[in-house]
Amino acid sequence: MVKKESTRQAFTTRLIAACESAGIVGHGRNKQVARALQQQGCKISTPGVWKWFNAQSVPDGGNLLALSQLLGVRVEWLQYGMEQPADPVTLSTFTGHKNVFRVDSLDIGQRSAAGLPARDEFVETIQAIEYGLDEARVLFNGRPAENIRLIAINSDSMADTFAPRDQLFVDISVRMFDGDGIYIFTLDEQLYLKRLQLQHKKIAVISDNKRYETWYLNHDDVTSLKVLAKVIMSQARHYQILG
């Protein structure tokens, strides 16, 4: 209970800071934010937004993504406090180049969601990749650019599926377990990249490298599971140096 309360308070602190940076201040901010989100198709009321500003609740995945776009901040920073880049990625970043589909790096930063040192599971080797719109539509199955991030794996825990330094493309709009697949998630304030598989009444946490043991999440564990993203594609790191 104390941990959940501190998580809500930390989110509220980031929310207020982001609103101030965006010029959303004063007593009318609850209504202003609610109206802007409703215009984006979100189902949220002014009292619901009030709860966000008063550490009583945290928005769900769809509202969180829309809120981060409204405020011009990274969704992973707004929810988990991971490092905010020097130049925030806003919705205008993706609409400013009409013929380019830009995929930015997932901002894991040096700290986990609770401010603890992050595992060496990931490394940032590429800041962004740009694709033509037609190619991106095929590669990412029509997903919008603001939902896609890029990160490189830095361990052998998922071999033979991924090798160290392979690039992973992830969908950050996935904020909960939505079926078998490979996810980036936090559990007990620790960051993981694992395959999650539903097995009857529990979820198996699988490392594709068989040297690592499979472990399981019971109902209580699942309630504290926080999904950051789901892996949708990978690109092997293979350089042929010719000069």
For 140-189, the pLDDT digits (tens) are 999 999 899 999 888 889 998 998 889 999 999 998 899 999 999 988 87
> Closest Cα partner for 226 from 33, 2, 12, 3?
3
> According to the model, what pLDDT value does residue 98 have?
58
Q: Which of 4-13, 102-111, 159-168 has the lowest mean pLDDT?
A: 102-111
Other C-beta atoms within 10 Å of 243: how many?
Answer: 2
- Domain ranges in the chain are 1-71, 79-237
Q: Which residue(s) pair with 148 in the sheet?
A: 171
Alpha carbon of residue 51 to chain centroid: 22
CA atoms of 12 and 6, how far apart (whole Å): 10
Greater confidence (81 vs 193) lies with 193
> According to the model, what pLDDT value does residue 180 have?
95
Backbone angles phi, psi at 40, to 5 degrees: -90, 0
Q: Which residues are CB-contacts of 134 (< 8 A; sequence separation ≥ 6)? A: none
Pick the CATH number of 79-237 from 3.40.50.720, 3.40.50.300, 2.10.109.10, 2.40.50.140: 2.10.109.10
Backbone angles phi, psi at 133, to 5 degrees: -65, -40
- Evaluate if residue 119 carries a pLDDT over 60: no
- Evaluate if residue 47 carries a pLDDT over 60: yes
* Distances in whole angstroms, Cα of residue 17 to Cα of each of 25, 81, 124, 175, 188: 10, 12, 26, 23, 26
CA atoms of 226 and 18, how far apart (whole Å): 22
